[in-house]
Amino acid sequence: MVAIDGSDALAFVIIRPDSTEGSVSIKSGAQAMSRQAAAYVLHQVADLFEAEAGR
């Protein structure tokens, strides 16, 4: 069981394993933030993940 207090979060993304081997399920949401702004931030996070993986 996981508990996350996201009461002050502008957006969230949860990535979990799905029932099919190698697939994932994604749940996301945003409030007080446009979808475009959330996508921009997620793109920055993806760039950080890639940079970390390339070390």
- Reported as a single tens digit per residue, the pLDDT across 35-51 is 899 999 999 999 999 99
pLDDT of 26 strictly over 90: yes
Asked if the model's pLDDT at residue 2 lies above 80, the reply is no
DSSP string, 1-55: ------TT-SEEEEEEE-SSTT-EEEEEEESSS-HHHHHHHHHHHHHHHHHHHT-
- Calpha distance 32→55 (Å, rounded): 35
Contact between 14 and 27 (Cβ < 8 Å): yes
- The domain locations on the chain are 11-53
pLDDT attached to residue 40: 94
Indicate whether this model's pTM tops 0.75. no
- Is residue 4 very low, low, confident or very high in pLDDT (cuts 50, 70, 90)? confident
Select from 37, 36, 38 the least CA-distant residue to 11: 38
Q: According to the model, what pLDDT value does residue 46 have?
A: 93
Neighbouring-strand partners of residue 26: 15
